[in-house]
Amino acid sequence: MADAPLYGRVAIIGLGLIGSSIARAARRAGGAGTLVAYDQSAFVRARVAELGLADVVADSAAEAAEGADLVIVCTPVGVSGAVAAEIGPRLKVGAVLSDVGSVKGAVVRDMAPHVPAHAVFIPAHPIAGTEDSGPDAGFAELFQGRWTILTPLSRADDAEVERLKAFWTAMGANVDAMSVEHHDLVFAIVSHVPHLIAYNIVGTAADLEEVTQQEVIKYSASGFRDFTRIAASDPTMWRDIFLNNRDAVLEILGRFTEDLQALQRAIRWGEGDALFNLFTRTRAIRRSIVEQGQDTAAPDFGRRPPAKTDAPQ
C-alpha cells in the first residue's frame, strides 16, 4: 500500500493462536513496517521462522521490545506481569505497550507498574479465537467482523488509542472501548462462566459410574458435543483467566447457581410454565446474535452430517 504503516516496528511476544493471527493479519493489512516475534518456547520460535510469520525472530522478550513502536504481549495473563517487568525498561520513548488478555484488571495490576512514564500502556482484548492453540492454529481472518475492546487508562492517551484502534480496524475488527472493571464483569458472563460450566459438565460426565465414557462420546450429538468444543480450549490460558478474574467470576457464578436452583425446583415440583417461559425468552437472544452477525444463521452452526461409515464400536 502507498500509505506508511501505522507502526514502524511491531513486536509480538507470544505466538500462540492470537499472537500468530495478529502477525498474519498485520502483515496482510500493512499495519507494521517490521514485524518482530518472540516466544519463550524454542519450538515455537523455530516454527515461527519456518512459517515466515515475522521479519525478525528475537532471542528474548527484551530484545524484541527494543526499539519497537508497538509491543503486543500475547502470553497467558498469568505471566504478563513478568513479561512487563522484563521489557518495561527497554521500551523506547513514545512506545505503545498493549496486550490481548481476556481479563483486564489483573493485567493492569501486574503490567502497569513496569511501564515507564515515556511509554503508553493501552490494554486490549480481541473477542476472537478457536479451541485450537499454537502458531499453526492462527489465521489472518480471525479478527474479521469480531470486536476488539480497548480499556484505555487515561484520557491523555487519546491520540495513541486512535492509532491502536486503526491498527485493529485494519485487521478487520470492530473496536470498542470500556472501563477495565466493566470489561471484567461483561466477560465473566459472556465468556468466563460459560467456559467454566462447559469444563464442569464434561468433567461430571467423565466421572459417572453408571454411564460409560464411550456412551457419552457416541451420543454426544444430542447437546453435549457443543460443550466439549469449548472445554477443549487451552488449559493454561483458562486457568490463568479464572485465577485472575476471581471476583467477577464468583459473582456471576453465584447468580448462575441461584437461577439453576430455581429451575431445579421448578422441575421437582412440575412447574411447566416457569420452564416454558424461560425457554421462550432465551430464543429471542439467539435471534439477535444471528441478526447482528455474531453467529451463523445456519441450523446446527452449519455442521454437515458425517459421511456414512461403519458404526464405531
Shorter beta-carbon distance to a second copy: residue 3 or 209: 209
Shorter beta-carbon distance to a second copy: residue 42 or 284: 284
Match 459472556 to its residue by C-alpha cell. Answer: 190
CA distance 12 to 56: 10
Which residue type does 263 have? L
Shorter beta-carbon distance to a second copy: residue 62 or 253: 253
CA distance 286 to 195: 18
CB of 34 to a second copy, least distance (A): 26
CB of 179 to a second copy, least distance (A): 12
N-to-C CA span, the chain? 56
CA distance 8 to 32: 6
CB of 300 to a second copy, least distance (A): 4
Shorter beta-carbon distance to a second copy: residue 40 or 220: 220
Q: Are residues 95 and 119 in contact, defined by beta-carbon separation less than 8 angstroms?
A: yes
CB of 10 to a second copy, least distance (A): 22
- Among residues 56, 67, 47, 65, the alpha carbon closest in space to that of 27 is found at 56
Backbone angles phi, psi at 36, to 5 degrees: -115, 135
Shorter beta-carbon distance to a second copy: residue 155 or 304: 304
CB of 162 to a second copy, least distance (A): 16
Backbone angles phi, psi at 189, to 5 degrees: -85, -40
CB of 286 to a second copy, least distance (A): 4
CA distance 84 to 66: 13
Shorter beta-carbon distance to a second copy: residue 113 or 235: 235
